Structures are given as structure tokens and as C-alpha cells.
Structure 1
Amino acid sequence: MTTSPTPVNPTRPSRLHFSMAERTGLLAFAAAGLLGTVDLRLATVPLTLFLMLCAVAPFLPGAGFFFPVISRGKTGKAVIALTFDDGPDPSTTPLLLDILAEWQVPATFFVTGRRVTQYPRLIRQIVSRGHAVGNHSFHHDRYRMFWQTALLEREIADTQAALSRLGIVPLAFRPPVGITSPSMGKVVSANGLYVVNFSCRAFDRGNRRIANLAERILARVRPDDIVLMHDSDAGNPERIRQWMGEIEKLLAGLSKKGLTAVPLDQLTGRPVMRMDR
């Protein structure tokens, strides 16, 4: 009689291995112990370096220092994934959906819970057109939530709840601005999520810096990149037209570079969301 293996939840990171932070900390303390036998003042050097690394690591989107973070694919193929943060927005998201449909390009939208509650119809449109939706916190608090675990828990859980009312269960979480924190891994895992950041961005400042957006991305993008953009309001009708033109240029440029945009889950091998109904 054969026994079926116990299924593994793909949204929860394994705890069989130490994180990079844990390994680095152990090495720092071991080095401090060895150097301390020579001179106690030398023992402070590896510990200081470790603390400095802990301070910088949250602002490195692809570092995965405190817990596993997906920031690019590993397909080895000429494919990339397009992701859009901070929406949905009624002035830009429908226009973007039309452009993506025209080019037959899939995307993932990391949405805020506040906007989910404001624009549920747009969320339904995103999904009905074949795109995926991820959790991007509720209020998009850039910094405070990263140092207050209770607030981080509420921001993530409230967005999960807002989307679940639409029958959508996100499995991927993108932190605002890509900033991570030591407590985030446990909070994300407790909500059945994993973290997806990015490996290519145009530093568009949430569509406040639109000029040459396509050119900046095309100069950087490489196979297996996860590209970060935004579908937040560009400011006024003229700037929105400019933004749409940049999206068109980007899609045309990707094709010329021989890069194909694929669904994020195809790039990473992990589901972004599931539907409850």
C-alpha cells in the first residue's frame, strides 16, 4: 500500500534553513569571539558591520536578507513579467487594461486595500481580463508599518479581507516601495502569502516622473526580470496621455528586444492568487 506524500503549501517559506540574516549574525558573533581573544576592540568590528547590514538590507528589494524574497525569475528564457503597483485608479487602470488587451500582454496588479474598497468594479475588470492581483497593503504606509508589527499585520490582513469579499485570495505580497523588515516574513506567512519584489524599475515615483519611462526600463530590462511600474493617477489628462504613450513604447520596445511578457506565476513558478468563487 502506497501513501501519498503530504502536500506542501507553496505560499509558506520553508523553515528548514536559516535566513541570510541569521547566518550572517552567527558568523558575526563567531568572528567577534575569535577577534576578542586577540583584542576586545576588534570584536566590535564584525558586530558593527552586521548591524549596519541589518539597517541597509530593508531598502534592498532583492536582498531577501530577513526571509525569502522573489525578485526575478529563474526560467533562463527571454521572458519578463510586468507588474503595476498602487492602483487601481479609475483615470488610468481602464486605459492600461485596453493597451494590455491590444498587445495581448498579461500583467500583475499589486493593489492597495483602500482602493479595492473604493473601486471593486476595477478589480473585477482586472481579473476578468486575465490579469492577476496581489496584496500591496491597505494604506500604502511607506515606513511606519515596517517598524510596527501590529500595524503591518492589520495592513496585510485588511487587504486580504477586502479582496476575499470579491472572491479573490492573493498569495503574493509586495511591500510598499519594496521595503522589508525582520518581522515581515512571519506576518506574511501567517496570512498565507509570500513576498514578491522586483528587479527592474524606472524610478517613476508613482507616475510623477513619466518622461522617458519606456527608455529607462528598456535600457535596464533583462531576461527573467520582474518589472515595476504603477497604474496610479498620472496627474492630468495630458500627463495620462503621455503615460499611455510610454506604455505603448515599452511594449513595442520589449518586442524589438526579443523579450516576451508572461504572467508572473509563469516567471516565478508560484501562484499569485486563487479565486474562491
Structure 2
Amino acid sequence: MSTAVTSGDDALFEFLCRMGDSTLVLGHRVSEWCGHAPVLEEDIALANTALDLIGQTQLWLGLAGEVEGKGRDADKLAFLRDGWDFRSALLTEVPNGDFGRTLMRQFLFDAWHSIYLGRLLKSSDKRVADIAEKASKEVSYHLERSADTVVALGDGTEESHARMADALAYLWPYVGELFAGDAVDAAMVEAGVAPDPASLREEYDALVGRILEEATLALPEGRFAHKGGRDGRMHTEHLGHILTQMQWLQRAYPGCTW
């Protein structure tokens, strides 16, 4: 899949899909806990997080449809694209695993999300800045909750600590993709729309490192990163299964309204 950028609108569309697809896929993942969380309070909290992420998706993909100008709204972009057209970060696609892995994944994403949205508040595109302003309020709560849970489980029992250490080791190789820039990112930087992803890594490591220290977990040293989701070159094998569940109704009854 080529990542060549032919115009500013093409790059902006790609950027908006990256934001919306990541929140869409993660929102779907988190929603899988509905009715299955360890306790009722966590069930409700996870459901609310999923709803926030899906709401953000509607804003990002809705704007993407406007920028594209081909008559596709947020629903069409979410439900009528195939896997190779998605731009979700690989971190959002990985299976939930146990409760600890789910919250570790949420924390690693929330930490990046909060920093990135903070930069987007100063975007040269007011539409992007407005979405970031709304989303950042929700994500600040997401980060507070996921960080607190990582600390509680990491610094909890011997078993919970071991599970969180395993979760971190499994998920860390997916983090680096969030900071890998390409032609789309370069175009967004030049236009003042979004920051250079690489410029956020130091702040991210400091934030994550501080929380992991409280959780008695060590910040991994390796920087190896799985890549390919944000530019559509290579997704995990899990994305197809997610889309099969998420899109089947629209695919079975195309154009149907209720």
C-alpha cells in the first residue's frame, strides 16, 4: 500500500482516518468486556470508555468524510471499508487478553493519546482543534483511570504483578509505531495541523516511566516496533476478525435505515 501524498487534502484525510480508525478499533475492543468485566463497576467504566472512543470516532471520521468530498460519512467509512483501507494503530488491534492486559493496553494508548491531543489543541485547522478539545477532556479521565489501575495491579499481589509485567512485555513492541512518522505526518507538520510524532516520545517515556515506577514495573529498554497499521501496509491478523463482527449488519443490509 503506497503512502505517497498527492495533496494537502489527501494527507489530511489520511491523518483523520488514523485518528478515527484507532479510536474505533480500540472502542470496539474495549466494548467486548461489556457484561464480562471482573466487577460491575469495572463493567460500567469500560463501557463508558468504549462509548467515549466511539464518539470521538464519529467526529474524526465525520470530518474525514467532509475532507474527502465523496459523500462518505462516518458510518460509511467505519462500516464499508475493507481491512486494507483502515489506518488503525496496531496497538489497538491486539486481543484484550485478561483484565490486566486490557488496562495496560489502555494506559499505553491513553498516555500517547493525551499528549497528542494536547498538541492538537493548537492545530492550525480549527476543526481538528475543536475535536481535540472535546476528546482531551474524556481522555484525561481515561488516563487517570488506566494509570491508577496499572499501579494497583502492578503493585498488588504477586500474581497481579506478574500478569502486568507479562502484559507490558507483550504490548511494548506495539508502542513504537505511534511515534514513527511518514509523508502524511510530514505534511501535517508543515501545515501546522499536527505535531511530528517522534517529538512526543521523550514526554511519553517520562509519563509512562513515572507510572510504571509506582506500579513497581520496569520501563522496557527495547525500541523495536511493529509497524504497518497507521499507513495500511500491514495490519495484525486480528483486524479482519474485528471488522467481521463490527461490519456484518451493514454488509448484510446495505443502505438500510431504521
User: Under TM normalisation by the shorter chain, which class is it?
Assistant: under 0.3
Instruction: Give 1 or 2: higher strand fraction.
Output: 1
What TM-score does the superposition give when structure 2 sets the normalisation length?
0.25
Instruction: Give 1 or 2: higher helix fraction.
Output: 2
What TM-score does the superposition give when structure 1 sets the normalisation length?
0.24
